Structure 1
């Protein structure tokens, strides 16, 4: 039988030399990553590796996890996927197992500069090619994003701008491949083209504050992360909660910020599909309708997941409702105690609590600790 205890998660650190940093490794107090650019830490997904023991060797494995280039390279060892395959009802809960047949959530702790103009489709638009990808962002620091179409946007002009830029950048890339143009000159040309056509004029640009929470789970919404090296040197520090769907089947891109590899290769975009599925309703594109504010302990409720923020000043008992629970220590230090064992979690650490535990106890190790709790309500 599965042990009825919380399991500490070994973070899966993804190295991103072009846009990562050392915020994540510093926040977590890890022994790795200080000299590497870490872009993401996978806090929860089906392949999350679990610490079965709380001995010193296991602790060192947590403090010095291997750096990865791709989250799909699942390391040997006990994973949530392995446990759920053997004990699906005990690990996930009957409702989760019946609906998803797997661990459905992906939680990422991210440090990122800008990314592409993106869209995830609505659930009603799901098809063989594209799948919806509900997601929500919780900012740990000030950030810069685009969200929704500008209310005065002419959608045909925006589409033509994206098509023109994509074609022009492809032609520049072809010249680099043929050695007719240096990479540096190509980059200059791309910057000039982008500045001249300015696709940002068609979308809403927002500076957001630490603690900002936005829900994109409805789909059909344009979005991106932006960068400003002078005012936001850290980039965007985001705690992302989402349904785990492969990027290739869920992310539609209209503009990739002119990114080109040294060999002239550029990303293939999905411009026609992006404009087929983007919702142009001005109210739907107003960020005020997607911002979420804390009510009691609840930060966010969607049909696919809930996010709570627990302030722990004294020992408190928490109860499992409809699904497993994931905990992330945002500040302080907490012992999470279950019937068959405990874990002592420092800031930046995560643990997975199987459905079969039913209840667990949070015991603060500092005067005040803050815990992010993710679960599913049916």
Structure 2
């Protein structure tokens, strides 16, 4: 045991010297101007590297944005060329039809000049032909309106299904996060319990060793009483210091455990707040989308009602009025095609932005999980 005491004394003296040397080295570093200058340069270099990295990320984002805009512009230009080509073909067909009608009307006028006796019959035939044409145009407009209504119903149904799927995914993610938090907290608590049990066993073992040491020296004769007293005092002093050091370690571990639990709960609260905020933003976007669709439907109905009223008021037999109505119809279809093209482009942009937000949320969630795992004490 005396050898053991001597070893403990040597070890303690060595640790004390190392601590003194460490403090002296730290003091020397703090008083050295060259080291302070070097630290300042290193700090400046880190700031510079971080700034360059941020600038590089900004350039990459701007580059990606330019590439996306270029792709959208190219898609828009292709669609525009196709639609312009289609409109041009339809316009040529309509012009050919108008020329045929004009030729037919001229032929009717010539025949009417030559056969005045059959003027009334020819007028009735011409009127019947125009009525048939108007009826055919009316049926075409009705079919087009039904097709648009069917498209709007399908689109609303897709939006509703997408919203339901999004809600289910969010619900599943919340359940998984709750289970993960429970497992993490259970593991931390179990680890703390095992640590406390191990420390209790260590305390009992140290106490037994101290008792055995005291019993051993008490059994010796009266000639070693003074030596026993000194050894006992030294052992008590060492034991007291060890207990104080152990209690300090226990307090630090308890504070670290409490701090870790606070960080876990704070991160969890921040994640819940962020998710609620995003859900509110998503609900607000859905409400705005529904309002926009309702406005578009109301606008389309108003335009359709105005068109029907205009058709009833402008139904005449004169050639100039017929041409004016055809031009008006062509212009209206051109506007509808242009609006449809804008809607498709907006839908594509919204879909790309939505996917990008989902990917970012997944990345942030994985990053938070990695940080929690890195902070685990085991």
Fold conserved between structures, TM > 0.5: no
Query: Bigger radius of gyration, 1 or 2?
Result: 2
TM range (shorter): under 0.3
Q: Which structure is higher in strand share?
A: 1
TM-score of the aligned structures, taking structure 2 as reference length = 0.16
